[in-house]
Amino acid sequence: MMKLRRVVQVAAAIAAFAIAGAVPAQAQVRRVESGRNAIGFNFGYFSVRDIDSRVDDDVLVQDLTQGAYSLAFDVDDFSGATFGGEWVVGIGEYLEAGFGASFYQKTVPSIYAQKIRDDGSEIAQDLKLRIVPLTATVRFLPIGRRGVTPYVGAGFGAFNWHYSEVGEFIFQNDVTDNDRFVADGWAAGPVVLGGIRFPVGDVWTVGGEIRWQKAVGEGLMEQNEFFLGDKVDLGGWNYNFTVHLRF
């Protein structure tokens, strides 16, 4: 419920920004309409997939389900801020192609759920996930790019990912030691999106966009045998506020 409430709050904030920006729009619509291409920027919130919907052998799920050696953290805490940019190319009146890149990174603290040091203190780690999506999409504008512009689209993403676990860990015979486990790579997957843009000023638009992505990073245990899972789920929802400069 807390995650749902947070997502609703972010979506409401994006909508409020977009609507507020549309108030002075009508006097300048023609200049914005004349630009078929645009440079865009976005910032918002990336919501990771819940524990019950993550892929099999996901490293976060495995960390949470190792019995006496499981870690204690909240998967929802990996949700966080994201920002990026894109190049938009108009294809006729009702289609656009978009080429973008964005950045997300979040570090989440964890501890052993059932193990402590002899002095009673916690055994702590930092879990970090970074995702840099490079995407190519095609968007359909059902009423064209005149004035207020709703759109839907789909495409493909190449996701550069990095995952690490840094801190104190329990090894054989319950010996603890500081260590650092790191894995990275590329993954590919689909992207689906929908949004709306409002003209503001001569050449600017502002709006809101919701974007879904699906991808899985693999081979963690090949890079470091101490990972408990071989995959990391990169899927989730992006809720973004967008700004475009049309020309």
Tokens representing 161?
């990912």
Q: Is 218 helix (H, G, I), strand (E, B) or coil?
A: strand
CATH number at residue 6: 2.40.160.20
Alpha-carbon distances, residue 186 vs 86, 129, 151, 183, 234 (angstroms)? 20, 13, 29, 11, 11
Residues 189-232: tens digit of each pLDDT: 999 999 999 999 889 999 999 999 999 999 999 999 999 999 99
Query: Cα 53–103–230 angle (5° rounding)?
Result: 40
Residue-level pLDDT at 6: 53
Classify residue 66 by its DSSP letter: S
H or E element: which one contains 90?
strand 80-91
Classify residue 230 by its DSSP letter: S
Residue-level pLDDT at 172: 85
Residue-level pLDDT at 145: 84
Segments forming the whole domain that contains residue 68: 2-246
Residue-level pLDDT at 202: 86
Tokens representing 96?
């656009």
How many residues make up the chain in this entry? 247
Residue-level pLDDT at 168: 97
Residue-level pLDDT at 161: 98
* Nearest one of 229, 175, 219, 180 to 66, comparing CA atoms: 229
Residue-level pLDDT at 20: 47
Counted domains in the chain: 1
Distance CA 181, CA 165 (A): 5
Residues 88-141: tens digit of each pLDDT: 999 999 999 999 999 999 999 999 999 999 899 999 999 999 999 999 999 999
Distance CA 103, CA 46 (A): 10
240: phi > 0 → left, psi -120 to 50 → alpha, else beta; which? beta
- Cα dihedral sign for 127, 190, 194, 55? negative
pTM: 0.86
Classify residue 33 by its DSSP letter: H
Residue-level pLDDT at 118: 87
146 within 8 A of 33, measured Cβ to Cβ: yes
Residue-level pLDDT at 33: 53
Residue-level pLDDT at 10: 47
Residues 136-184: tens digit of each pLDDT: 999 999 999 888 999 999 999 999 999 999 999 999 888 999 999 999 9
The residues pairing with 108 across neighbouring beta strands, listed in sequence order, are 127
Instruction: Answer whether residue 9 shows pLDDT above 90.
Output: no
Distance CA 131, CA 234 (A): 7
Tokens representing 141?
């504008």
Residue-level pLDDT at 70: 97
Residue-level pLDDT at 7: 46
